[in-house]
Amino acid sequence: MPRLLGVLESQKQLGGASYPPTLERLTELTGDTLAVTSKALTTKEAKARVLLSRAARGKKKPAPGATLVLLSEDLEAIAQSDRLLEVQLQSARTADAPAVGLAQLPKGLVTPLGRAFKAALAQRITERRLPRTIGALLGKKPLFFFLADAVLPAAGAPARPAAIATDGADRPTADGHGSSAPSSAVSSAQSGPGAPAVSFADRFDAAFSSLDRASGRLNYVTLHALRTALPDIPRDTFDKELGALRRQRRYSLDPSDGRHHQMAEAERDAGIVEGGNLFVYVARRDDA
């Protein structure tokens, strides 16, 4: 239990997409099995300090990839966070029904967190405030959806839309049009014949969203997968532009201790070394 608390505290200090971790991610960070981690969280000491966003229902255990583990003192803050909204939406949506009703979003949450989350959703609607990855149709029965699900690709288009930004931002392109939000260097990729070049930030957002969605929206994508998704970007340029996105607090890097997932050589080679640490994962921050 002391080790679990230490991991949670360290993830909280990292902030953004690192906290609160899912039960699956917490298991990876501690290096234990899911059974050992779950059992530790049922102890009296754990229940006094730690809260799981979802509780077991009868013999059905909460899904480790959809259950967040947080310090009890952070309940109100997490209820209002983009992270909880994204995890709940991902859990509730299906391929056939990607838009989720307001009443469905709190389902599965433990009562105190669910109550606070409902209040936070009502406030979000009033303030028209949503993460860059999520859109909503308002009305008597509001519907929430991932913006990536609202994009209908052209017939025969590749599964990974390299030139489509899925975070809802309207950033400038090479022709100077768009919002006044900052843009990274423009790459040579184009969305079609005669189309203007698309910024690295837009392409990186699209690649991250596509890869993250394919892996279950755990908000952890390897640098190797992202480099592979953007093969025309030189490594030096990739690292420089990713550094700019990190300074803008849009993404963070995370190392792997190698105990849960043994890194392949290609994954290690694609990493970034800083301060003696090898960073191999990228996570999208929710406090941008």
Q: How does residue 240 score in pLDDT terms, banded at 50, 70 and 90?
A: very high
Listed range (73-87, 131-145, 254-268) with the worst mean pLDDT: 254-268
The pLDDT of 223-237, averaged and rounded, is: 89
- pLDDT > 50? residue 228: yes
22-41: buried (b, 16+ CB within 10 Å) or exposed (e) per residue? bbbbbbbbbebeeeebbebb
Residue 179 DSSP one-character state: -
Helix (H) or strand (E) holding 140: none
* Three-class secondary structure of residue 48 per DSSP: helix
Give the mean model confidence (pLDDT) for residues 215-233: 86
The pLDDT tens digits of the residues spanning 3-15 come to 888 888 888 887 7
> Residue 283 has what DSSP assignment?
E
User: Which is more confidently placed, 214 or 259?
Assistant: 214
Q: Rounded CA gap, 262 and 52, in Å?
A: 27
d(CA 18, CA 220): 9
Q: What is the spatial distance between Cα 82 and Cα 88, in angstroms, rounded to a whole number? A: 10
Judging by beta carbons within 10 Å of its beta carbon (0-12, 13-18, 19+), is residue 276 exposed, middle or buried?
exposed
Average pLDDT over residues 183-189: 39
Sign of torsion over alpha carbons 225, 9, 88, 205: negative
Helices (H) and strands (E) in the chain, counts: 11, 11
Tokens of 90: 């991902």
Percent of the chain whose pLDDT exceeds 90? 28
- Distance in angstroms (rounded) separating the CA atoms of residues 249 and 286: 9
Bond prior to 20 in cis (omega within 30° of 0): yes
> For residue 51, what is the enclosing H or E element?
strand 50-52
**If pLDDT is split at 50, 70 and 90, which confidence band does 173 have?**
very low
CA distances from 93 to 87, 143, 205, 217, 271 (A): 10, 11, 21, 12, 32
**CA 30/CA 2 separation, integer angstroms:** 11
For 10-14, the CB contacts below 8 A with 24+ separation are 12/71, 12/74, 14/252, 14/254
Give how far Cα 153 sits from Cα of 96, 167, 189, Å.
16, 16, 17
Distances (CA, A) of 229 to 153, 166, 212, 238, 250: 18, 15, 12, 12, 19
Structure confidence at residue 185 (pLDDT) = 37
Q: Look up the pTM and report it.
A: 0.56
For residue 44, count other CB atoms closer than 10 A to its CB: 7
Over residues 129-154, the pLDDT tens digits come to 888 888 899 888 899 998 878 766 55
